[in-house]
Amino acid sequence: MKLVKIILGAIAIIWILSLVISKIMLPIQNPEGHYSGLILDQESDQILKESCFDCHSNLTKSYWYMKMPLVSIFIAHHISEGREELNFSKWDSLTDKQKKKAIEKSLDEISEGEMPLKPYINMHPSAEIDSEKLEKLKKAAHRIYGVIPEDGVPDKD
């Protein structure tokens, strides 16, 4: 069947183009270099790792859907933008003031339901930050960087 061949050919071309474009947008999947020590504390860092690191660090993991046609472009765009805004792997190179600001912004984004991005949560439900996790992050942010969340100083444990 000629039509089937044409359709399969078109899919193959779109697929290959998608992979090439996404590779160009995100040339190095996992560039070298990572922070030493901690961002906040063990528990909070675990939350950030699970919910944010795929887009905001050099430790992006690979998932099958990242190779799908067009989706790969969409995701490469998110990761390169995410890393540009905030790359936790470069934590060591930030000043204390920049760190505080980054954590402040992060808490705002999470509280407003902007982060992690919705499509990511759809694919990774456990990445959603519930109120318990958010409270943990707020407490650590206050204790370590003196961040005061919009809803006031968190209670002590």
Judged by CB under 6 A, the residue of 54, 66, 141, 142 near ligand HEC is 54
- Residue 116 as a binder of ligand HEC (CB under 6 A): the answer is yes
Chain-centre distance for alpha carbon 3: 41
Q: What is the dihedral of CA 126, 127, 128, 133, to 10 degrees?
A: 90
Quote the CA–CA distance of 107 and 140 in Å, as a whole number: 11
How far apart are the C-alpha atoms of 73 and 128, rounded to whole Å? 23
What is the pattern of x (binds ligand HEC, CB under 6 A) and - over residues 11-50?
----------------------------------------
Per-residue x/- marks for ligand HEC, 65-104, CB under 6 A?
-------------x--xx--xx------------------
Q: Which of 126, 125, 127, 131 is nearest to 111 (CA)?
A: 131
For binding to ligand HEC (CB under 6 A), which residues are involved?
51-52, 54-56, 78, 81-82, 85-86, 105-106, 109-110, 115-117, 120, 129
